[in-house]
Structure 1
Amino acid sequence: MHKLEIHPKAKGLIFDLDGTLADTMPVHFVAYQNILGKYGVDYSAKMFLELAGVPAVETIVKINEVYGSSLNPEEVGHEKEAEYERMMHEMKPIDAVVDLVKQYHGKLPIAVGTGGYTRLAWKTLEIIGLKDYIEILVSANDVQNPKPHPETFLRCAKQMGIAPKDCQVFEDGDPGMQAARTAGMMATLVTDYYDVFKA
């Protein structure tokens, strides 16, 4: 398997969090299944992977559309996040990507752009040992338009003081890759570099 590398033109690095730096996807999936199962929704792995990186509340809106359910997005979204938090100690770091952050820390500006919520994002960074390596974090709490809209990554670039075209984004999901490309950034799919969660 080839090594994950920084683009020679990159002046700033932006990392997604769930599924990119932290192997949280299996934990998120089980949390969704546990909560949605209570409401009689059999949430598929395929749908879960299609919505990778989309915040919980927006995910529930989408589930209502697809499954014809009438769940309260705010309530069920927060229920799912609480269930996830209860289980999040089970996550593991994705070493190939985490090593890159440690290698370039202090050499290039680094930001995290996540569809997760601020408090849990910092908790995730703490669990995987990156809390002291990240200064800029843009989460679902900071944007009006989550991925696949480019706002998350554009805010990262602005806070780093780097032009979007000079930023390299590391992502594991389609919505995030789309957001990076729309922002005019270099987009790298990290799942080419490790064995991705298969459900």
Structure 2
Amino acid sequence: MKAIIFDLNGTMINDMWYHTLAWEDILNNDLGGNFTREEVKQNMYGKNHELLVRMFGKDRFTAEEMDKLSLEKEKRYQKAFLPELKLLPGLQQFLESAHTKGILMAIGSAAIPFNIDFVLDGLNIRKYIPVVVSADDVTVSKPHPETFLRAAELLNVSPDDCLVFEDVPKGAEAAGNAGMKAVILTTTHEVNEFDYLNNIIHFAPDFTDPYIKSLVE
């Protein structure tokens, strides 16, 4: 392992509940939908625009309207989550150890830069993670491998030298499509939801897990 690529939401921070509530508010209260929380949760992957198309069809919104809805959703999420903004247990120490060992690190996320900056700068961890691939940097989002392949390219490492940390099946599937192994943080989905994938090497609740700690010792 020469490089680690982190998904962000639900992987570095435990915030997916707040994203779910923000989307539920937008989709149902602002846009007149009638979606269950489980329906919202199952569609929360990829870019914000893609989620809106999945939920309402491709002709409901203009690109400009989707831009505004996306930003409004993120503002509501950030306002609600800010008092709880912190890294998953053990991640600060993991980042420091990996950095000391010279392991390269990147973020490969479907989040927009507005949200990635909220975390990197809010928690002062940008110094560990010089490479960021956001929703704005790819044409096709997860489970397409573009996000992770782009991160590997920017790190100047081979995909098979990268390990991905993810929390959702579509993200782990994207890692597999990129030829990368994945470690899953069980913050968002149950272990059995990943049964169809063969590139997962470990499941853990957070970064205090002995196996995860051993990766950078």
| C-alpha contact 1:150 1:183 (8 A) present in aligned 2 | yes
Point out which structure has higher relative CO (alpha carbons under 8 A, 6+ apart). 1
Give unmatched runs, 5+ long, in structure 1. Answer: 1-9
Q: 1:69/1:80 Cα in 2 relative to 1: closer, same or farther (>3 Å)?
A: farther
Structure 2 length as normaliser, TM-score? 0.76
Q: Which residue of 2 aligns with 1:134?
A: 129
Say which of 88, 100, 104 aligns to 2:98: 104
Moved over 3 A (4+): 68-75, 96-99
Q: Which residue of 1 aligns with 2:19?
A: 28
Give unmatched runs, 5+ long, in structure 2. Answer: 187-202, 207-217
Aligned residues with identical type, % of pairs: 31
Number of residue-to-residue matches in the alignment: 184
1:193 matches 2:204: yes
The equivalences for 1:120-131 within 5 A come to: 120-131=115-126
User: Deviations 1:123-167 (Å, cap 9, x if unpaired)?
Assistant: 112233422221111100111111111111001101111100111
> CA–CA distance in 1 between the matches of 2:40 and 2:96?
30
1:63 matches 2:55: yes
| CA positional deviation for 1:104 | 0.3
Structure 1 length as normaliser, TM-score? 0.82
| C-alpha contact 2:172 2:182 (8 A) present in aligned 1 | yes
RMSD of aligned Cα (Å) = 2.2
> CA–CA distance in 2 between the matches of 1:97 and 1:50?
26
Q: 1:130/1:52 Cα in 2 relative to 1: closer, same or farther (>3 Å)?
A: farther
Q: 1:181/1:97 Cα in 2 relative to 1: closer, same or farther (>3 Å)?
A: farther
